[in-house]
Every structure is written in structure tokens, then in C-alpha cells.
Amino acid sequence: MTVLGPVFRRFAALGGYRWYMRRQRRAHTLVSYVRGPARPLRFGGAAVRSMIPLAVGGDSNFTVTFQALAYAGKLTLTAMADPDAFPELPLLAAELAAELDRFAAPRD
């Protein structure tokens, strides 16, 4: 990969990455988790109270993307969907919220 790195960077700089992502057919769903810092950070002297994960590659043809970010003891999830390819996002979000509530519920 070290040898190919400059080739891939040039390909991306010339718009090749976007071209590829608009045409790829190998994946339809993207799931990503990033473990952030365990303690709150400061930015420009102000406390960063929360962070929201967002998907990159907005020029792709992924149907649904799920992003999770753990930051300072909180887990934040986002789900984004192509409304033409997946109009059921509100239903998916409700089902995901219900499942997370069941997962987080106290156990006997």
C-alpha cells in the first residue's frame, strides 16, 4: 500500500474517488463506530458538550448509513438514508430506538 498511496491520492485529487463511489455496487449499507475521548474536550476555550457523527462520502450511492460515536460517556447514533431508495427511514429509526431502549433497560 505504501507504493500505491501516491497513485490513490492522485486518483482522488482528480475526482476518481467520487466517480467510483457514485458507481460502486458492492455495498448498500455502511455501519461505522468511532470511539472518541472518554473525557470532555475543550475547543477554543469552550467545553465540547457533545458530538454528532456524520457519514462522509455524500456523493456515494449507499442506501443507508449508520454512524455511532462514543464521547465522554455518551453514545450518539445517526442514521441517514437515500429517501428514494429507502423511504422507510422513520420506521427504521423507531425500531432502532426501541431496540436500544430494550438493550439499555435494567435487567433483573
Per-residue pLDDT of the chain (108 residues; tens, 9 = 90+): 577 888 888 888 988 877 876 776 666 677 888 899 999 999 999 999 999 998 765 556 778 888 999 999 999 998 888 888 889 989 998 999 999 999 888 887
In this prediction, residue 24 carries a pLDDT of 67
Q: Residue 4: inside a domain, yes or no?
A: no
87, part of any domain: yes
Residue 19 lies in a domain: no
In a domain, 44, yes or no: yes
Three-state DSSP at 87 gives: coil
pLDDT at position 39: 93
Specify if 57 maps to a domain. yes
| Number of domains making up the chain | 1
Q: What is the pTM of this model?
A: 0.64
Structural domain boundaries, residue 45? 27-104
Q: From CA 49, how far away is CA 52, in angstroms rounded? A: 11
Would you state the pLDDT for residue 43? 95
Residue 81 placed within a domain: yes
In a domain, 17, yes or no: no
Q: What's residue 101's pLDDT?
A: 93
64 belongs to a structural domain: yes
Name residues whose C-beta falls within 8 Å of residue 64's C-beta, 6 or more positions apart in sequence.
28, 29, 30, 79, 80, 81, 82, 86, 89, 92
What per-residue confidence (pLDDT) applies to 56? 65
